A and B are shown apart, each in its own frame.
Chain A
Amino acid sequence: MVRVKLGSFAFARSGDKGDGSNVGVFVTNAADYELIRRELTVERVKQHFHAICKGEVTRYEAANLLALNFLLRDSLGGGGSESLKTDAQGKTHGLALLEMVVER
């Protein structure tokens, strides 16, 4: 087991959902899927985004896509057109998740 960045083996995409963002993350084989299911708990993701996400985190699974989908509520400073933030749509939240270090 070595400590590696999630981005060294996983892919992600994010976008806005109301005043929050969604972060989809996926891998390319079953072993890595088990790994992200184990490592990417709601608590850990919420902690990772502590300075960005002010609301609740929800996790969904899509085993056919070897993917997890996270909803990060209240993470856009008001959302869509109301936000003053540079990343008002959460476009970069996927890459932010890929910065997480996990045991692999």
Chain B
Amino acid sequence: MSDDLPSSKLQRGGIIAKTGIRVGARYAAHHLKQVITGREDAEAKSRLHRDNATQVFKEFSRLRGTALKLAQTLSLDNAILPEEVVDVMAQAQYQVPPLNRSLVRRILKQELGAEPEQLFARFEPDAKAAASIGQVHRATLKDGTEVAVKIQYPHVRDTIESDLGIARLFAERFMSKAKADNYFEEVREKLLEETDYLNEGRQLDAYHARFNGDKYATPKRIPELSTGKVLTMTYLDGVHMDAFLKRNPSQEEKDRYGQHFWDFFHDQIDHDHTVYADAHPGNFLFLPDGRLGIVDFGCIKKSPPDFFNNYIRLFDVHMDNPERLKEIYSALEMVDPTGEDQQTEAEFLAFCAAFGDLFLSPYRTEIFDFGREGFDRDVAKYAREATRFTEPRGSRHFIYVTRLHVGMYRILMKLGARVATGGGKDLLRDYLEKTGDAA
């Protein structure tokens, strides 16, 4: 496999189209077989999903960059895809084929001005993890500090425009141009930010100052070995969720980490309308000392105060003030009180009310069991139902704010953690009191 990722729209579009044709042909063959034999083979269908997802992952791994990031987002933030697809695509979090080692040396030399042997006491030439935008190597500084060195793939920034251009071709089939402009601008801005490691370094510094402590561990940036394309930070020694679960941890252990996830979300509420927006399992580590390790600070979302305060106010309207549902959902651009088809608007508001009630049900008990039978299925059911309403709705700022919220729920459900929700509730109420009536 070539290590220099294809960056032009032509090259990348070709790979995506080829993958689409292959996957489509497999599904067509499966359905044909089903028509001919007249029976539904569940095992064959599951195998088909897995094979197709593997094919998609393989091709998108070649592309790396934005395409892989978008595929990963689609698979992890959306409950409508089959479980087999989600499982395979989850590999995109940390199992992309790494760059060749000579190119790694080249990038380090270009960015930091010296060979790895001169920069570090020890540098591991093989990547420890490789994801959509860059890969991570372990190293030891000359003073003995263990570090992680994150190296950005060449030309990743160039892939943003070409991949978003391709994605828009699909998106404009089911949303208006104005809406697509709005959403795509939000995604574009965030992706550009994610490819600026100097910006990520500043965000890392801010989160380290605020969150590193008894509950959470965040890396410390090493500024003298960091540039726009290389980010060196202290190493966090922990395992990802899959490895943690493979060890068959006790319920108590799962609850402890689950509580940290829950608290991490709520501890950010009063934080200048800014949240960590990349809550997928690859960005969290389970540390042996019981702390939750948080890595990758490329995707931090700072929302306009009005949007953020109304988003938080959803907690209040669902819990205590349902008469304000329409007002707040309208302010968040989820429903249009002046739209021509008020019947659809009313149906969608009813849908929001029901989904919101389910989503906020953890706050209605002192201890909520995210592994509770049927909770994940009910959430997935609503996510599927959302597709009934043809055009995507809501302010562009939802895209990244809900990534944290939905991502956290997904992690908690997979962990099967029981969480004490009271502290989060108090923080939400304090914040709402402080900010007054939004909308």
Whether both chains belong to one complex is answered with no
